[in-house]
């Protein structure tokens, strides 16, 4: 006979039966929930990154605009400097043209006053003065030439700065100061 023990069901533990399909479904559901939460967090992080990228791009565009503005301002400054230089060159060209015509008149006057036997080797204009280098057969021709130069209206003073006798001829240098440039004591 069997003993009746009322406590036996309470003392022994029965292992519950686990349904494998149920456990697999619960595990897949848990993985799916974790995946959805992970996707949500990643989406939030990506939104923040895109917002930062947009801010950076707008700052870069603003910086590029400022760099272009600075470049344009530099080009405008260079343009104004170039215009000023061009105006100065044009003024200088006008002065040269006016002086050139005056120089041609003075040269033709000087050549017309040369006596026979005098040959000019060079005529130079420097700082408002005229420098003549020439050759003559006789000294008296040089003195006569200087006298004729001083009689001209355009010339204030003619000065014989150098005379050298070489091989049957005289080499001379004359410095001429025109009246408008001549600064000296008036008698």
Q: Give the integer Cα–Cα distance in Å for 88 and 86.
A: 5
Give the Cα-Cα-Cα angle 45, 50, 55 (nearest 5 degrees): 125
Q: Give the integer Cα–Cα distance in Å for 122 and 132.
A: 6
**Region 76-80: what's the mean pLDDT?**
91
Q: Give the integer Cα–Cα distance in Å for 175 and 122.
A: 12
Predicted TM-score (pTM) of this structure: 0.44
- In the block, tokens 């939104």 appear at 47
Which pLDDT does position 33 carry in this prediction?
Answer: 96
CA within 13 Å, CB half, 92:
6
**Region 41-58: what's the mean pLDDT?**
92
Q: In what order do the strands lie in the sheet with 169-178?
A: 118-126, 129-136, 169-178, 155-166
Model confidence band, residue 187 (pLDDT cutoffs 50, 70, 90): very low
Radius of gyration of the chain (CA): 54
Average pLDDT value over all residues in the chain: 83
Model confidence band, residue 153 (pLDDT cutoffs 50, 70, 90): confident
Which pLDDT does position 21 carry in this prediction?
Answer: 87
Pairing of β 169-178 and β 129-136 = antiparallel
Predicted confidence (pLDDT) at residue 103 exceeds the cutoff of 80:
no
- In tens, the pLDDT along 107-151 reads 788 888 888 888 888 888 877 788 999 999 888 989 999 998 888
Which pLDDT does position 47 carry in this prediction?
Answer: 94
Predicted confidence (pLDDT) at residue 152 exceeds the cutoff of 80:
yes
């Amino acid at each position: 006979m069997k003993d009746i023990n009322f406590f036996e069901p309470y003392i022994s533990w029965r292992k519950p039966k686990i349904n494998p399909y149920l456990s697999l479904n619960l595990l897949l559901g848990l993985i799916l929930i974790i995946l959805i939460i992970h996707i949500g967090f990643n989406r939030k992080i990506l939104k923040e990154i895109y917002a930062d990228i947009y801010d950076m791009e707008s700052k870069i565009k603003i910086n590029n605009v400022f760099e272009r503005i600075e470049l344009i301002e530099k080009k405008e400054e260079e343009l104004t400097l170039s215009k000023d230089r061009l105006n100065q060159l044009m003024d200088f060209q006008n002065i040269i043209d006016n002086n050139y015509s005056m120089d041609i008149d003075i040269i033709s006057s000087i050549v017309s006053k040369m006596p026979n036997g005098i040959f000019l080797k060079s005529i130079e204009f420097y700082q408002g003065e005229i420098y003549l280098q020439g050759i003559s057969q006789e000294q008296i021709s040089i003195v006569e030439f200087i006298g004729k130069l001083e009689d001209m209206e355009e010339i204030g003073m003619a000065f014989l700065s150098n005379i050298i006798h070489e091989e049957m001829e005289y080499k001379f240098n004359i410095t001429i100061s025109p009246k408008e440039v001549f600064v000296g004591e008036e008698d």
